[in-house]
Amino acid sequence: MISKGIILAGGKGTRLRPLTNVLNKHLLPIYDKPMIYYPLCTLMLAGIKDILLITNPLDKVYFEKLLKNGEQWGISISYKLQVNPVGLVDSFLIGEKFLDGNSVALILGDNLFHGDGLIQKLLDMSKLRTGAKVLAYPVKDPERYGVVEFNSNGNVLSLSEKPKFPKSNYAITGLYFYDSTVVERSKQIKPSSRGELEITDLNNLYLDDNQLSVELMGRGMAWLDTGTFDSLYEASGYIRTLELRQGFKIACPEEVSWRNGWINDSQLVKLANSSISNDYSSYLMQLLEK
């Protein structure tokens, strides 16, 4: 069972300027919650309680103020700095001491996952012991992503990063599960022509050893990359529609930890009362009533 998770929340957010001129994009709102709550809750739904958040030196203090050390949610959150964003694989090099030879789930801080059957899929993927597992999602514009090619039996043939001529419409999402060899494999990765340590190169190392499996996200699931103005707006609309229609909040860490049994009823009440009375605190109290 994977017990450690990494959230990559660094970068400069250039696609979202001027919003990100003074604020890390992962602190921007997705409807009624900060963006960072969504990847955090995804890891929590996978049963992961020991989490490392990697960000840049200027923004670390804001994440610490928002998330603290995670104790209030029955989890542990620690922080590391990425001075220069040089690719996703750098996460494992930065987090080597945190991982301490353990397997890990990496999620990008601007990725939102939701949908029917997702929690069980996350729990199943977190049982990884050897190799690597990634999620793939059908998209209209696969040339913008890492793309996976399958054979007629559904086995993975190849992975390619932002190909001009994609061999499928399945994009690799920003959620990855790796075994304890990930750090040593990451040390083998050389910078690409873009000067980055590409996650696709790491995945290809696992693929070459026949240790990469790809899980498909079904039609009832949603994956949103919220790194542009349009996707930020779309994600907020998606969350707003579901929450208003169903009466449940999506990516509420207090609720996830409570339902996981990581905090008890009295701790949930304390969290609800710790903030000024608003819809969010009222929702937490309603969980107990229901």
Q: What percent of the chain has pLDDT over 70?
A: 98
Mean pLDDT within 82-94: 92
Full-prediction pTM beyond 0.85?
yes
Domain ranges of the chain: 4-130+174-251, 263-290
Report the pLDDT value the prediction gives residue 193, as an integer from 0 to 100: 81
Task: Kindly state the DSSP code that residue 73 receives in the 8-state scheme.
Answer: G
What is the residue-averaged pLDDT of the chain? 91
4-130+174-251 placed in CATH 3.90.550.10: yes
Report the pLDDT value the prediction gives residue 206, as an integer from 0 to 100: 95
Report the pLDDT value the prediction gives residue 85, as an integer from 0 to 100: 85
Find the range with the poorest average confidence among 73-77, 176-180, 204-208, 286-290: 286-290
User: How far is the C-alpha of 71 from the C-alpha of 90, rounded, in Å?
Assistant: 27
CB 75 within 8 A of CB 50: yes
- Whether the pLDDT of residue 12 is over 80: the answer is no
pLDDT band at 116 (very low <50, low <70, confident <90, very high): confident
Find the range with the poorest average confidence among 1-10, 103-112, 142-151, 260-269: 142-151
Q: How do beta strands 132-138 and 111-115 pair?
A: unpaired
Find the range with the poorest average confidence among 34-48, 55-69, 181-195, 272-286: 272-286
SS3 of 219, please?
A: coil
Find the range with the poorest average confidence among 29-38, 91-100, 268-277: 268-277
Non-local (6+) Cβ contacts of 268 within 8 A are 254, 258, 284, 287, 288
Rg from Cα positions in the chain: 19
Q: How many CA atoms does the CB half-sphere of 280 hold within 13 Å? A: 14
Q: At what angle do helices 265-273 and 279-289 cross, to 10 degrees?
A: 160
Which helix or strand (DSSP H or E) is residue 122 part of?
helix 118-125
